[in-house]
Chains A and B, each alone.
Chain A
Amino acid sequence: MGSGRVRQRVFAAPYCVLLSIVSLSRSHTRRSLWEGTPQSTGGASGNGAASSRQTRLRPRNPLAEPPLCFVREKKFRAREFFASSLASEKSNVAQVFVAMAIMSILEAKNLVKIYDGTKAVDGISFSIQKNETVGLLGPNGAGKTTTIQMLLGLLEPTAGEVKVLGKSLRSHRHEVLSYMNLQATYAWLPGNLSVRENLMVFAMLYSVKNASRRVAQLLELFDLKELANARTGILSSGEGTRLGLAKAFVNKPKLLLLDEPTASLDPDAADRIRTKIKAEAHENGTAILWTSHNMREVETICDRVLFLSHGKILAEGSPQELIARYNKKDLEETFIALAREPLNGQGIRNPALQQVQYGASKG
């Protein structure tokens, strides 16, 4: 690993399933998940009367040993997640299973999109975890926007399935869409409405409680307060992007799809926008799928990258992993190598690409 950072690619869910099965096999009661005996806390640390009756149980802490899966160091603290879950007296095995389901915010399985016999997306599968930022990279026409549109339900996949928080987009479309949001330069907001009005309309569409307060928060957060009554159509690129992002966060989404959010912004504005996105996403525990042609940006912001070409995932890993794997100086060089290699018809030299079997599907 070039960066020295421990990166994780295996999801926590299989480990947690194993954990639950092991726990259940040890005991038929929920008490088996705990060590020690119930004690009165005496209310010293208390939350009033409720805490005085609270029993302090220490979880058996089955996560004390290194997990079977690799858990991301900063973003995805499975251990803390489950420890806190188990620390509640109300926790039970069912809740653990619910929590497991929640951890994978997005699951895309074997997504295929065929237009008139041409495969725009060719059986891609990936998932995104809570708080994770995943870059979706690829040359023009690779299938990025098609993928995003399928994830948003704007486009019906020819095959495959999208699940958000464990719920299928196909069967729970409207519920699933309430967990998501989008910001893309091509998804314009009505230019004849003011900034505040646009945010109000989308707050209502997402059934946001206290919509006016949420809109005021977003105006403040994205430095739009001065522009609140300005027509959206007269905003500059940077201001328009900020409004698009404010709209994207209006429902505090669990999954945010950003299609080139900093395109057309100057470096300073782009940096400010990235900082705001990360801060807001961190606060809400939002998972992000981020497309960009700015490789420096991707290196900075993405925990993991999916490289798409001709509708297939050619490579996957952290930016540092990919740079090291392909022995390149930076992600931009890696991008160029990945984008060109399968297209030059010279055969696939890189072992990592051999499994792609590009030629077999595209000819």
Chain B
Amino acid sequence: MDMARRIFAVFLRQFYLYRHSIHRWLALFYWATIEIFVWGFLTLYLNKIGAATFNFVPVLLGALIFWDLFNRAQQSISVSFLEDVWSRNLGNIFATPLRPLELVAGLMVVSVVQVAGAVVAMAGLSFLLWKLDIFSFGWLLLPFFLNLFMLGWALGVVVMALVLRLGPSVDIFAWSLAMLIQPLSAVFYPVSVLPAFLQKIAFLLPTSHVFEGMRAVIFGQEFLWERLLWAFGLNAIYFAAAVFFFLVMFKSVRTKGLLQRHTD
């Protein structure tokens, strides 16, 4: 019960923050809206020059929405943590009974709420503007959604650890880490277009399995269980490694006295 209260407190802190902040709401939806417009027009153009042999809308716009889900899951955790770093509140936070894992859990809840809001908005806009109904694919996409969340959380926790250890000057990772793996994640194209040696690396990323699997679902092909299992397996390893890394960094900053950097 106490643990639930503490996790809720982490969520409540972010909820209060957003309640007061219009620009945070705008940031949540602004880029999503712009992207839906830009990529929507692009798919229209590609459909036109492709002479209706291939419908780009679900492939590109669908991929965009799913990638945004992953990107936001990572950013949400990282930026929410940074809010406490920027407000020099970490000393207060870590002097409470809140466990590091409870902090991570609380930020995961925050990310689910934020991502759900953004994805619903994007999906709604896509439906209204481009007649793309991502929910028409049904429950088959849910396990892939979950995998995208898991990798987003893992990367978010890595950013938290880096900020904790290296200080707020490395906050750039909060916005760039997910993008680092985009070229190999096969978001808008299949893994098969990559050079052979990069394909091997690509399949070490859960995102490549997820997007390959999701494309199959969108094209109405068979459900790729193998891709899903690979994604879950890799994600389990990466998430556990990220949490372990965070705990090691937390111990390290307490030993080296680096937490004072965030409080002095």
Contact = CB atoms under 8 A, between A and B. Distances in A.
Contacts of B92: 182, 187-189, 202, 247
Contacts of B12: 200-201, 204
Contacts of B264: 186
A149 B260 contact: yes
Contacts of B6: 204-205, 207
Nearest to B257: A155
By secondary structure, the B interface counts as helix
Nearest to B89: A190
Contact of B17 (A149, A193, A206, A207): A193
Contacts of A247: 92
B15 to A, nearest CB: 9
B17 to A, nearest CB: 6
Contact of B9 (A156, A177, A205): A205
B257 A192 contact: no
B88 A188 contact: yes
Interface string B78-117: 0000011001110111111111000000000000000000
Given A154-B263, A200-B12, A201-B9, A115 B89 contact: no
A154 B8 contact: no
B91 A190 contact: no
A180 interface: yes
Interface in B1-50: 1-2, 5-6, 8-9, 12-13, 16-17, 20-21
B16 A201 contact: yes
Given A156-B251, A205-B6, A187 B16 contact: no
B83 A174 contact: no
Chain B: number of interface residues, binned into ranges:
35 or more
Contact of B91 (A115, A187, A205, A206): A187
B16 A205 contact: no
Contacts of B89: 187-190
B169 interface: no
A184 B91 CA distance: 10
A192 B17 contact: yes
Contacts of A181: 95
Contacts of A192: 17, 20-21, 87
A146 B257 contact: yes
A204 B8 contact: yes
Interface residues on A, range: 35 or more
Interface string B156-179: 000000000000000000000000
A67 interface: no
A175 to B, nearest CB: 7
A216 interface: no
A177 B100 CA distance: 13
Contacts of A186: 88, 91, 263-264
B177 to A, nearest CB: 25
Contacts of A182: 91-92, 95
B21 to A, nearest CB: 7
B255 interface: yes
A204 B7 CA distance: 9
A7 to B, nearest CB: 31
B95 A180 contact: yes
B254 interface: yes
Contacts of A180: 95
A207 B95 contact: no
B257 A202 contact: no
B155 to A, nearest CB: 25
